[in-house]
Amino acid sequence: MGDLAVGARSGQDGPEERRPAEPVPPAAEDAVPAESDSGAPGLAGSGSGPSGTGSGDSGDDTAQDLDEPNHQPRKQRSFWKELPLLIGIALVLALLIKTFLVQAFSIPSDSMQHTLEQGDRVLVDKLTPWFGSEPERGEVVVFHDPADWLAGEPTVEPNPAQRVLGWIGLMPSANEKDLIKRVIGVGGDTVECNGTGPLKVNGQALNEPYVYAGNTPCSVDDQGGQFKVTVPKGKIWVMGDHRQNSLDSRYHQEDKNQGFVPVDNVVGRAIVVAWPPTRWDTLPIPDTFDQNLSAAAPGALGLVGAVPLVLWRRRRAVGRTTAPITVGNSGVPGSGTAG
């Protein structure tokens, strides 16, 4: 009983009864001793030991380091402080998109009914022209006024906010003099209207279901509705879908461009009606323009048809002559006739 009492008081002051030393296991003898009073490092990664040192001291040091100002977590910026930066980034992106990718335009008139109604907002592709793409037949394009086509047309004076938003592309520009029409002919094409139609491109009639209901494809008047023109290279011939309510290429044949629109004036192709939501729709090229309307097609077909005839005539000419073929000989095919 007395021995047990003495053993229980091993944590108190005073002499303690020491037990005989027990043999140390071989692993314990090889182990590195814990940190001594002289400050020698203990066993790396040691947890707790009889001396109460080791990882406990390192935990105290870590806690002390976290309490220092240099180790305090960084405070997040206030939303109101970051808001101007976010707005600036958004404006720059909007300006880049407007300049190089897509721009919104508002439809100011009824000249493109029913494809486009007054007040519609369309998105115009401005990217492909940067890669050398030129307008194609059937596309609806926006272009800068080529020769004062909008002279005398009323314009709405925008307020400062509209000017800024229009400049960066967040809303349609209110002060740019732009028009929107459908491309009918490109460089080299011959476009003509006789009577009420149909409209012809390079001699082939167009089927135009997009023309405003009740209109005829061609307008019977003496101001420009009856015409036959050949489109110069680098120009396009444009017409509105509301044929009897569109002052397009037909009615500007007396200007400096003879009614043609320079390709350089084209801003881009209208690809979608974006507003209002009830009017959302794409603006594809109508199927009638998928037919072979190339101005070179008749000539190419004539050349193909003439090849067998020329070969046949050459054979006959060779069969009839017995004289050797020499320079200046009348027997040489095609040497003295126009065919």
Active site residues: 111, 181
Write down the mean pLDDT value for the chain: 73
Lowest mean pLDDT among 26-35, 46-55, 129-138, 294-303: 46-55
pTM given for the model: 0.61
Residue 13: pLDDT above 50? no
What does the radius of gyration of the chain's CA atoms come to, in whole angstroms? 45
Residue 146: pLDDT above 80? yes
Q: What token pair was written down for 21?
A: 């030393």
Lowest mean pLDDT among 125-129, 145-149, 194-198, 223-227: 125-129
Q: How far apart are CA 8 and CA 65, in angstroms?
A: 39
Q: Return the DSSP state at 65.
A: H
Burial class, 156, CB count within 10 angstroms (exposed 0-12 / middle 13-18 / buried 19+): exposed
| Model confidence pLDDT, tens digit, residues 175-190 | 568 999 999 999 999 9
